[in-house]
Amino acid sequence: MSLSLVQKWVKFGDTTISNLLLSHYRQLGITNNQLILIIQLKSLMDSGNDFPDIEIIAKRMQLPAAKVFTAIHDLIQQKYLSIETSIDKEGKSKDSYQLDFLWERLATLLEQEERSTKKEEQQLTEKDLFNRFESEFGRPLSPMEIQTIGMWLDEDKYEIDLIEMALREAVLSQVYNLKYVDRILLNWEKKNIKTKAQVVQESKRRRNHQSNVQQTTTANETTVKPKVPLYNWLENQDNH
């Protein structure tokens, strides 16, 4: 490759197109021809030509100028492209193409997909939660119990993992009813415990505290220290 060709190659520069656009443009309603036009516009805009002549684009795409003009008009009508007018330092008006609408619509589409995915995952997890209660209780949940769990999720905004931890504590205490689980959740709420990690941390702290008390009490004894009992979340903890 000759030096002049390399210099020409470098001078023309590169145009970067988001892979998100390439993978989602059809979902936005953009046709293949419109995508090519957008890429050509972005290429010229990236090189400093913010309002390229229709003839330049037509020559690149080997299309009649009238057809390119109509295609650009369609992009503007469909809110993918806009024309903005600004005033330069000399007081002259200057037009430029803007692709902000396109990026905003792409971002909105991605947010909608993310919300939809999270909703599907949450619905699946909620189903697993109900199944977990039925498995631990050894029976189907009553309509009232299903409503109660639904209120924990929808009104109280308890995380699913937190409800599962409360169920686990109830099962360890061999209490198989929602009232006990509800009291555990309320107790955690008063302590501003909102996540599974916080439950584990608080449980570890309490058991360490109980272990230290046991060690102090039996410091002068030679008998084997008793095992630390499971922590009862419902006991009065204000005096620890």
CATH of the domain at 164: 1.10.10.630
Let me know if residue 231 belongs to a domain: no
- What secondary structure letter does DSSP report for 30? -
Let me know if residue 106 belongs to a domain: no
Show the domain range for 201. 122-217
Q: Are 145 and 193 part of one and the same domain?
A: yes
| pTM value surpassing 0.85 | no
Let me know if residue 155 belongs to a domain: yes
State how many domains the chain has: 2
Task: Name the nearest CA neighbour of 61 among 35, 90, 86, 87.
Answer: 35
Let me know if residue 173 belongs to a domain: yes
**What 3-state class would DSSP assign to 141?**
coil
Let me know if residue 167 belongs to a domain: yes
Let me know if residue 48 belongs to a domain: yes
Chain segment 208-239, per-residue pLDDT in tens? 877 777 776 666 555 555 555 566 666 655 55
Q: Are 8 and 93 part of one and the same domain?
A: yes
pLDDT value of position 226 = 59
Instruction: List residues bridging with 87 in a β-sheet.
Output: 93
> Is residue 45 packed enough to be buried (19+ CB in 10 Å), middle (13-18) or exposed (0-12)?
middle
What is Dmax (Cα atoms) for the chain? Answer: 99
Q: Are 78 and 133 part of one and the same domain?
A: no
> Which segments of the chain have a pLDDT < 70?
1, 3, 6, 9-10, 124, 216-240
**What 3-state class would DSSP assign to 52?**
coil
Task: Name the nearest CA neighbour of 160 among 129, 194, 191.
Answer: 129
How many angstroms from the chain centroid is the CA of residue 217? 50
Q: Are 82 and 161 part of one and the same domain?
A: no
